[in-house]
Structures are given as structure tokens and as C-alpha cells.
């Protein structure tokens, strides 16, 4: 069950495991360790979610090793902060001013809890609860059990994989994609709701 739960947790950006990190910048390249900025159970950052809320600008990255070295060798820094993660340290370039608020989303590896709600990376007792779909974890654990005991498990494996893919497709809310554009685009201007108005 633990093997199934841990692999399922690492397989997608589950809404049940997503968290938001908010921190205040320091006037240095290194902002701190990514785990300290995020929190316990940090597994990975959700791409394209880091924003400087004080400046209302995105923070671009992560830069590759080559791009990171290139921007540091340049004589002129651009107006937008870019980031790189190295040695578990979150690095910004150019160096930001102190006191700016930065936020990003991240995914936890704490996929279950104790009966009292304490987050955990594995099930320890029968009263522990999974944060992910327990039916899918059971299906995934079943084929693993059969494989470990040298029993036929192909059908169970296929059933578990189909259930996982369905769960990934339905997890959280999904935007409606339309080739002609969104039906509810809001453009700059004054929004006047329909109805009668008292003058």
C-alpha cells in the first residue's frame, strides 16, 4: 500500500497535495533553501507559478545551468528576476530588493495522515488516512501484491493504470479549451452589468 501511495503521489500534481509558499525577499542572490521556503514535505515546485506579488510580475525560471551562468556573466541585468535552484538553494538574479513578497505553488510528498491529522509519507497504522483516492491506491496495491507473489497480474495492472489515468484527468478543476478563444474573456474597460439603474 505504501509503495502504491508513494508512487501515485509522485505521478501528478494532485490538488490534495498542492500548497502555496509565500516568503519575503532578502537583498541577496540566495533566498534560502527551497524546503525552508516551502515547508515540510516539499517534493517539487509547480512550473510557472512563481510571482513577485509586490511588483506584480512573474519570476522566470527555472534557468538551466548554462543559462544561469550566462546571465551572471552579462554586464547588464534585465528588469525581470529569474531563478535557479542549485544545492537546494533558491537563487534570484538580479538580486531583489529586501521586503518584497514572492509566492509559488508546490506539491507535497505527504500523501497520507494519521487519525489525528498529522501529515505522513507512509501508512503506519490501520487508522491512517490517504489524501488521495483510496480505491485507486487499493487497485494499484493489488497488482503489486500479485506480482510479488508470482501470480498473474496483467489484468489488475491494466485496470489500475486506467483508474489512475481517469483520476489524473478529473483531479481538481480543468479549464475548457476552445480553439476560437474563451467565451468569457474580459477586456480592459469599464464593466457594466446588465439591468436597470437608478439615477
User: What is the Cα 171 distance to its own chain's centre?
Assistant: 13
Does residue 100 sit in the same domain as residue 23? yes
Phi, psi (5° rounding) for residue 2? -65, -40
Does residue 87 sit in the same domain as residue 141? no
Does residue 91 sit in the same domain as residue 147? no
Does residue 96 sit in the same domain as residue 20? yes
Average per-residue pLDDT in the chain?
92
Q: Is residue 104 part of a domain?
A: yes
Cell 439615477 sits on residue = 199
Q: Is residue 142 part of a domain?
A: yes
**pLDDT given for residue 185 in this prediction:** 57
**pLDDT given for residue 72 in this prediction:** 87
Q: d(Cα 40, Cα 49) in Å, to the nearest integer?
A: 19
Where the chain has pLDDT below 50, the residues are: none
Q: Is residue 124 part of a domain?
A: no
Does residue 21 sit in the same domain as residue 86? yes
Q: Is residue 147 part of a domain?
A: yes
**pLDDT given for residue 199 in this prediction:** 62
Question: Could you say which of 108, 125, 157 is where a domain stops?
Answer: 108
The number of domains in the chain is 2
Cell 480553439 sits on residue = 179
For 57, the domain range is: 13-108
Grid cell locating 185: 474573456
Q: Is residue 184 part of a domain?
A: no
**pLDDT given for residue 47 in this prediction:** 93
Q: Are 21 and 39 in contact (CB under 8 A)?
A: yes
pTM above 0.85, yes or no: no
Three-class SS state of 154: helix
Cell 556573466 sits on residue = 73
Q: Is residue 29 part of a domain?
A: yes
Amino acid at each position: 500500500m505504501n509503495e502504491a501511495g508513494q508512487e501515485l503521489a509522485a505521478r501528478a500534481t494532485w490538488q490534495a497535495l498542492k500548497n502555496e509558499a509565500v516568503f519575503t525577499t532578502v537583498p541577496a542572490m540566495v533566498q534560502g533553501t527551497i524546503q525552508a521556503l516551502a515547508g515540510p514535505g516539499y517534493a517539487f515546485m509547480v512550473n510557472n507559478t512563481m510571482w513577485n506579488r509586490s511588483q506584480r510580475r512573474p519570476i522566470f525560471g527555472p534557468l538551466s545551468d548554462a543559462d544561469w551562468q550566462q546571465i551572471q556573466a552579462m554586464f547588464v541585468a534585465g528588469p525581470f528576476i529569474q531563478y535557479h535552484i542549485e544545492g537546494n538553494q533558491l537563487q534570484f538574479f538580479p538580486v531583489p530588493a529586501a521586503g518584497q513578497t514572492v509566492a509559488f505553488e508546490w506539491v507535497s510528498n505527504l500523501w497520507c495522515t494519521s487519525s489525528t491529522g498529522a501529515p505522513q509519507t507512509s501508512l503506519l497504522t490501520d487508522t491512517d488516512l490517504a489524501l488521495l483516492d483510496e480505491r485507486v491506491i487499493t487497485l494499484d496495491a493489488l497488482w503489486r501484491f500479485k506480482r510479488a507473489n508470482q501470480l498473474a497480474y496483467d489484468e489488475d495492472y491494466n485496470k489500475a493504470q486506467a483508474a489512475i489515468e481517469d483520476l489524473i484527468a478529473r483531479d481538481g478543476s480543468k479549464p475548457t479549451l476552445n480553439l476560437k478563444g474563451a467565451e468569457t474573456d474580459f477586456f480592459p474597460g469599464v464593466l457594466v452589468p446588465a439591468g436597470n439603474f437608478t439615477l
